[in-house]
Structures are given as C-alpha cells and as structure tokens.
Structure 1
C-alpha cells in the first residue's frame, strides 16, 4: 500500500462567494463544474461552513503557498487589487517570499524560489 495522495484542500468559510471571488480574481485558477479551483494540480474547494467564524482566529495554523515565476509582477498585480499585505515580498535565503491575507484573514504566501534552491531539490 502506497502513501495516500492529497486530493484537495477544503477552505471552510462563512462567506464562500466572497472568498471564491477573491481567489478567482487574485490567482485566476481554472474552476471545474463542481466548484473546485485548480492551482496547477492541487484543487481547493471553498465551501460554506456554519462551524467557522467570519474571520479566522489562528491565521498562521496553515498557510497556502503559491509558487510564482515573478514575485515582483505578482506583487504589482496584488497591489492593484488592493490586497492586505502581512509581509511585503522580500528576498530570503531560498527566494522571494511575501504574505497577504485573504478576506477571511488566512495567510496566503507568494513564493518565487531561487534557481539555486530549485537545483538543490533535484
């Protein structure tokens, strides 16, 4: 028996329409007939939940990391949309990292990994 495969991520929210619109506007993923947003093979389902508050109490509990080819261009796009930055993009050891808040207050990172880091992972 092999290791299980992560099939999708469910983002529970009190306002699924608002949250889905934000992810569609910010990252422009494909959306299938079941409402799953496809981020390069990882599917996210934004679903209504009556057991969650309007904003998250622990935004650092999980972080959605979006790998981008050009962090500066992505940041400019995010700025034009008026996102709330927790941490503006900055150069770190393994690349450029920046963190925004989605409408529920979840942490969403954009990451442009360095060529050196990518080479070390091969």
Structure 2
C-alpha cells in the first residue's frame, strides 16, 4: 500500500493572511484564490514533470536565517536573476547572494512577516 505520495500543501499561521496573500500574489506571482490559498499542478501533456521536495533540517540549522521561522518555502522559478532584480526594484528584502550548484540556481527573499522564501531555478531541461 502506497502511503504519502507528495506534498499536499503548506500551511502556516499568519498575522494578516489577506495582506500576506497579496504580497505573494504581487511579488511572486502566485494565483491566490478568493479563499486565500494557491493551487500548484505539476506536469501534464504540455509541460515537463515537476517535483516538490520535503526535507527536515536539524534544529540548529542556520539555513533559514535571518528568518527565525521554523519553516522555509521553496518555489520553482523560470528566471531567478530576472525575478531577484524585479523584487529588489519593488523594495522587497532580498537576502544573501544567489548561488549556483548542480541542483540549479538559488536565491532568497524575506516576506513581510520575516519568513525566508527560497527561489529555485532548476537546471536546464528539468
């Protein structure tokens, strides 16, 4: 019997869900619905198959710094450099320097409540 087959959602508390949803819509392009959430569909006849990763970190990790949250969101993006430039121009708090590895390109931004968001541009063809 197969049990867990993927991430079904990311749920977390917010001081102002409507304002936070608007920030994610306006700056990261999420299609925030009237009920306040966003739905991601992966793969299909006309697109490459996508993946969502679940990965626990040690309690003392600094990977999510400067955020003090116990979680970090990771979103796939098509053009990391372009998006980071746009976010800076919009006055968003882009943190650290972009990094490139065999897994792709990574950049980070803090949302208005101080949660670190990782932006990931997969390697070409993935």
| TM-score normalised to structure 2 length | 0.67
Deviations 1:92-121 (A, max 9, x none): 3422111111111111011112238x4xxx
Unpaired runs of 5+ residues, structure 1, are 42-56
Structure with the higher helix share, 1 or 2: 1
Count of residues in Structure 1 that have an aligned counterpart in Structure 2? 102
Other-structure match for 2:17: 16
Q: Note the residue ranges of structure 2 that are not aligned, 5 or more in a row.
A: 43-66
What is the aligned partner in structure 1 of residue 80 from structure 2?
71
**In the alignment, is the contact (CA less than 8 A) between 2:105 and 2:121 conserved in 1?**
yes
Is residue 35 of structure 2 the alignment partner of residue 26 of structure 1?
no
Give the strand-richer structure, 1 or 2: 1
Following superposition of structure 1 onto structure 2, how do residues 85-96 of structure 1 map, counting pairs within 5 Å?
85-96=94-105
4+ residue segments displaced more than 6 Å: none
Residues 31-83 of structure 1: CA deviation (Å, up to 9, x unaligned): 33422123445xxxxxxxxxxxxxxx733x32111111111111122112111
Structure 1 pair 34–17 and aligned structure 2 pair: CA distance change class (3 A): closer
Normalising by structure 1, report the TM-score. 0.69
Q: CA RMSD in A?
A: 2.4
- When residues 20 and 32 of structure 1 are mapped into structure 2, their CA distance, relative to the original with a 3 A threshold, is closer
